[in-house]
Chain A
Amino acid sequence: MSFTIAIPSKGRLKERSIEIFNEAGFNVELPDNARSYYGQLKNTPGDVEIAFLSASEIARELIAGNIQMGITGEDLARETIADAEAYVEFCVPLQFGHADVVIAVPEAWVDVANVADLDDVAAEFRARHGRRLRIATKYWHLTQNFFANHGITAYRIVESLGATEGAPASGSADIIVDITSTGTTLRANQLKILSDGIILKSQAVLMASKKAEWGENDRVIKQTLCEGIANIL
């Protein structure tokens, strides 16, 4: 089996990933055909194929062990599987793609500044409204883990398919757990982040699958890539 490393197939994550490989001296050869999803990485101690996949697909493929390495957001790896460390090695944080997964509540909730306040509000919510407090999110696992660790049980997750930040205003949820890099979107929607409501500080990370097959030379390639990239950061 050849060595495959996956990088995001579009946008800024793709550009920065390619730049980082090139800066580290591993030249990226892009496919001649712009529609192709495969490329090559050069100056490595063995053949390395680049697969261009969506960021969430990269997380899934690493966890499944179908690829050796990949660059994707830490949030996606941790959201895809509860016990991420058992499946994925977080090798080199790449210092781009910074984003936080946060709990945000309406600014009008002036009595709610932190997670302890939210716990009180969630608990009294059912008594007042006959239903649980609803949280809109795409991050089911991260939300469940965080709330369980903080002993908060009185809530329901509602799946957010589109713009999560609009859920409180549309009435489909009371609060949200979402990703934010600058906070601009949250502020525009008059939502505030709880003072201790950062669930995960995420960034793009060079990861290795713990479930993939690792031949002796594959390990050499991995070490070369990790050291080469760590050196330029």
Chain B
Amino acid sequence: MVQVATKFADQLHAFFEANDCVNAEIGLLQPADPYLETAGEDFRRLMFLTSDQTSTNLCLRPEFTVPVCLHHLASGQIPVRYGYVGTVFRQREDEPHEFDQAGIEDLGNENRVEADIASLLDAETILRKLGVGDITILLGDQAIFKALLLALGLPKAWQEKLGREFGDTERLNQSLERLSGESSNPYEDLPADLVEHINSDDAQAVAGWVTDKMRASGLPLSAGRTPSAIASRLMDKVELASATLSDENRSALEQFLEIDAPIEDAAKIMGEFEAANNLSFGPSFENLKARFEGIQSSGMENCSVHYQASFGRRLDYYTGQVFEIYASNGKRPLVGGGRYDHLMSILGAESTVPAVGFSIWMDRLEQVVS
């Protein structure tokens, strides 16, 4: 069994047991590929990597969520909540590389609103039990921005691009600027015969042209991008090249991203935004409001909760509520959490598995309560 360093381990395990969380026993040495496939190359730089004699990439456990999900996937997948506490290893600039994390992952619960609220409240309750005083909770939502892009009727390619950039407001604003500007020449560097196929709107001929080119280059036709995928994206691109983002849509997006309000006022402000821009967020907003109400009626004390419309994570498996909890005046979050309904399918689940969880940075917590 893995040695647990944090002095709070017993209290954490007692909380898990009292709240029907299954103990997740996760090894220190983990396969690296699931992390690289889910969190990507940026995460590689944070990990401590090694390999075994068969050249399998391994890493020192950098977090728990991915292995907990893999464990769940292998073990039958009835809805279950997992609790964990243990050491993780990350290359961090001015914090220790070896530290403890604790958290709960709630997998398979179809009642998403209820599970989202419970996840946030569990995190808050644990902080209280371990002696943290005043806290600030930052709330965001990955789904509502996508709902807004849809409601504005933006082209699908733009929705996808902007949706991906959600969470990085600077980049998002650059993209809005670019989409509002002069259109580009989509025919640049394209051979004349190909342009002719495009102009006659002949998708098959475009795909045929690409097929010939791939054959001539010795490229496998099915291992990666297919001729039809390349052809259809090219034609979409040509069609979109003349489009620009309207001033109204740009202003709506910018207004939305600036919404930052105490949870008590957030729903009202969002409703006013809908009315002013003559649009509807749809079901995502009902979902958000239900969460806001649940959180407000929970009776949390010594706690200010803010909804910030631009707050999100640039990881494509996060799908709904995201949150961070700070000690008042704290710069770094003590807790990070959120709903990640896409993660289990990326890791191999055949259908979507509702998933929500949080993780506590125990090293930061210990500094706050010491």
CB within 8 Å for A107 and B165 given contacts A121-B233, A131-B37: no
CB distance from B232 to the nearest CB of A (A): 9
Cα A221 to Cα B316 with chains together (Å)? 54
B190 & A110 in contact (Cβ 8 Å cutoff): yes
Known: A106-B214, A155-B40. 19 other contacts (CB 8 A): A106-B219, A108-B214, A108-B219, A108-B230, A109-B225, A110-B190, A110-B230, A111-B230, A125-B225, A126-B346, A128-B229, A144-B42, A147-B41, A151-B165, A151-B171, A155-B41, A156-B41, A174-B224, A190-B219
Cβ contact of A120, chosen from B45, B157, B227, cutoff 8 A: B157
- What are the residues of chain A within 8 A of B213 when measuring CB–CB? 107-108, 110, 190
Interface size class of A (residues with CB under 8 A): 35 or more
Cα A124 to Cα B224 with chains together (Å)? 12
Closest partner residue, chain A, to B170 (CB atom): A151
Within 8 A of A (CB), among B136-174: 157, 160-161, 164-165, 168, 171
CB within 8 Å for A153 and B42 given contacts A108-B219, A174-B224: yes
Of B37, B214, B223, B225, chain A has the most CB atoms within 10 Å of the CB of: B225
A111 & B233 in contact (Cβ 8 Å cutoff): yes
CB distance from B201 to the nearest CB of A (A): 16
Of B41, B44, B230, B234, chain A has the most CB atoms within 10 Å of the CB of: B41
Cα A125 to Cα B233 with chains together (Å)? 12
Within 8 A of B (CB), among A147-165: 147-148, 151, 153-157
Q: Is B75 an interface residue (CB 8 A)?
A: no
- What are the residues of chain B within 8 A of A43 when measuring CB–CB? none
CB within 8 Å for A190 and B194 given contacts A153-B42, A153-B314: no
B219 & A151 in contact (Cβ 8 Å cutoff): no
CB distance from B112 to the nearest CB of A (A): 22
Q: Is B218 an interface residue (CB 8 A)?
A: yes
B218 & A169 in contact (Cβ 8 Å cutoff): yes
CB distance from A31 to the nearest CB of B (A): 39
Cα A144 to Cα B41 with chains together (Å)? 7
Cα A111 to Cα B227 with chains together (Å)? 11
| A-B residue pairs in contact (CB < 8 Å), sample of 12 | A106-B214, A108-B210, A108-B230, A110-B190, A111-B233, A111-B237, A120-B233, A132-B36, A153-B315, A156-B37, A157-B41, A190-B213
Cβ contact of A174, chosen from B37, B194, B209, B225, cutoff 8 A: B225
- Encoded as 1 (CB less than 8 Å from any B CB) or 0, chain A from 105 to 149 comes to 011111101000101110111101101100000000001100110
Q: Is B217 an interface residue (CB 8 A)?
A: yes
Cα A111 to Cα B236 with chains together (Å)? 9
Cβ contact of A124, chosen from B160, B168, B216, cutoff 8 A: B160
Cα A110 to Cα B190 with chains together (Å)? 7
Closest partner residue, chain B, to A166 (CB atom): B218
B contact patch SS: helix
Cβ contact of B225, chosen from A121, A123, A144, A151, cutoff 8 A: A121
CB distance from B320 to the nearest CB of A (A): 19
CB within 8 Å for A169 and B219 given contacts A107-B213, A110-B230, A174-B224: yes
Cα A8 to Cα B213 with chains together (Å)? 40
CB within 8 Å for A132 and B37 given contacts A110-B210, A153-B314: yes
CB within 8 Å for A110 and B234 given contacts A120-B161, A156-B36: yes
Q: Is A11 an interface residue (CB 8 A)?
A: no
Cα A147 to Cα B190 with chains together (Å)? 25
Closest 5 CB pairs of A and B: A190-B217, A111-B234, A108-B213, A169-B218, A111-B233
- Encoded as 1 (CB less than 8 Å from any B CB) or 0, chain A from 83 to 119 comes to 0000000000000000000000011111101000101
A153 & B233 in contact (Cβ 8 Å cutoff): no
A117 & B237 in contact (Cβ 8 Å cutoff): yes
CB distance from A125 to the nearest CB of B (A): 8
B189 & A113 in contact (Cβ 8 Å cutoff): yes
CB distance from A221 to the nearest CB of B (A): 35
CB distance from A227 to the nearest CB of B (A): 37
- What are the residues of chain B within 8 A of A174 when measuring CB–CB? 224-225
Cα A154 to Cα B40 with chains together (Å)? 6
A171 & B217 in contact (Cβ 8 Å cutoff): no
A113 & B225 in contact (Cβ 8 Å cutoff): no
Cα A128 to Cα B41 with chains together (Å)? 19
B217 & A151 in contact (Cβ 8 Å cutoff): no
- Encoded as 1 (CB less than 8 Å from any A CB) or 0, chain B from 254 to 291 comes to 00000000000000000000000000000000000000
- What are the residues of chain A within 8 A of B231 when measuring CB–CB? 111
Q: Is A168 an interface residue (CB 8 A)?
A: yes
Q: Is A189 an interface residue (CB 8 A)?
A: yes
Q: Is B220 an interface residue (CB 8 A)?
A: yes
Cα A108 to Cα B223 with chains together (Å)? 14
CB distance from B349 to the nearest CB of A (A): 12
